Structure 1
């Protein structure tokens, strides 16, 4: 089996509690992002963008998200919830927001533009695995909340495709059960005329 097929056949999301340092170097990250952008993109619109969350910025975002939740929940906010929000973008060394900038277009349906962004997210994950890192694609409540999106630098008219956490698996991750091919693959047949 060639190296690419080996990486693709073993890809498995790394649970966030099992992810840690190190994250990718800047050179590796630059290559990952370039690979992520090599996706089908009808009309060459690049209807997506990437936001890097790491270091002090990720910590500050976590504090702002915790403050937002506290403003909404008041005294009912638990310390556990506060910690979850504070650590939301520091659970891995790097989080990359894949953001859809799809807009109405005379020729390219918005759905195709969004799917191009989803392909970019998957290419990013595959590139992370090719470099030997683990990854996990999540959205969570912050992807759908306008105030949280503002904290994250996402415009109201943009949609979150996913937040891709990238780091090193701290332990071997067991594979999960996968679909049986016979259950998900059918062969088309010609219509009777």
Structure 2
């Protein structure tokens, strides 16, 4: 015989259905009560999230800002300390027969303590190291002999030389460039093998210089 709680269920089908329904309802209510327990415990027992005071939030923000600015400050400091390589470049001034050796209009960048100009004629090395030297000359009159340009170290040591146009050519240019090791105190100049300086075109067509590498 089926029991629900402390009551016996009769053998009749009608009584069985009625009492069975009541039993199922009672079991459902009991199960619902058991299932609701964890939800109530969950809502009441989990601790709330800790709230940070305003000064802690501000401190975190400051630390993040500083960490973001450190690379920028480092890059600016590095650029300030290393502005660029020394570069000395000279254009030929308007020549005349009395200008021997040739005179140059110098432009020196980042060369303090590295290279200095000397009387518009020479460059003096102030710091030993590797340099790249270069030169170009351009003539606008016919040459009586082969045309050549040379960079030299005082008093008379050739550093590099190039030969260009043959005699009879009205116009022509020659140029060269090469790396070289120079020592502190070296005094450099540029010359051509033509005594008529007015055959050369001044300005940006005739120049020489160097930069530190």
Give the TM-score range, shorter chain.
under 0.3
Higher relative contact order (CA 8 A, sep 6+): 1
TM-score (norm 1): 0.22
Structure with more of its chain in helix, by fraction: 1
Larger radius of gyration: 2
TM-score (norm 2): 0.21
Structure with more of its chain in strand, by fraction: 2
